[in-house]
Amino acid sequence: MRLHLQIPVAQNYQAVLEGFTVDLFRSLSPPFPKLKILRFEGSFPGDRVEVELQAGPIRRRWTSLITERQVTDHEAWFVDEGQELPAPLTFWRHKHLITREDHHSVIHELIEYRTGSVVLDALLYPVMYAQFAARGPVYRRIFGKVR
């Protein structure tokens, strides 16, 4: 299943890329499930991000590896790919793309996930959409609202 959200922000695309820090990651964490950051190395190839999802007494580990990072004259991105995923996920690829516009940037959340069941993939879509749509106000607060 694929998901693509776009959030316009006021800052330059390169500044936005450099703003993807552990503090931003913490700010983007959803209210549920609670996220405990175990390891955050950054957004360069080879860096790892490990979190523990906490839902009451249930704890599930999620580990991602940064596999790509690129900056061009018009866009910048990095990709995290799931290495250890909580059930029911069996595949995760998240491209954080920031495109340059005339006087602002657009953050693109490009997500591909699978569970092994197309029915379950479809059922998870509204949940995934809501989780990532909730990042919009955080991005606008940190990187500025486009006027």
CATH code for position 57: 3.30.530.20
Residue found under tokens 């950054």? 42
Cβ atoms 76, 63 nearer than 8 A: no
The one-digit pLDDT tens for each residue of the chain (147 residues) are 999 999 999 999 999 999 999 999 999 998 889 999 999 999 999 999 999 999 999 999 999 999 999 999 999 999 999 999 999 999 999 999 999 999 999 999 999 999 999 999 999 999 999 999 999 999 999 999 998
CA dihedral 113, 40, 13, 105 (to 10 degrees): 50
Q: pTM, whole model, 2 decimals? A: 0.95
Q: State the helix-helix crossing angle for 135-143 and 118-133, rounded to 10 degrees.
A: 30
E strand or H helix that includes residue 81: strand 75-84
Domain that holds residue 130: 2-143
Residue 84, strand partner residues: 63
The pLDDT value given to residue 74: 97
Domain count, the chain: 1
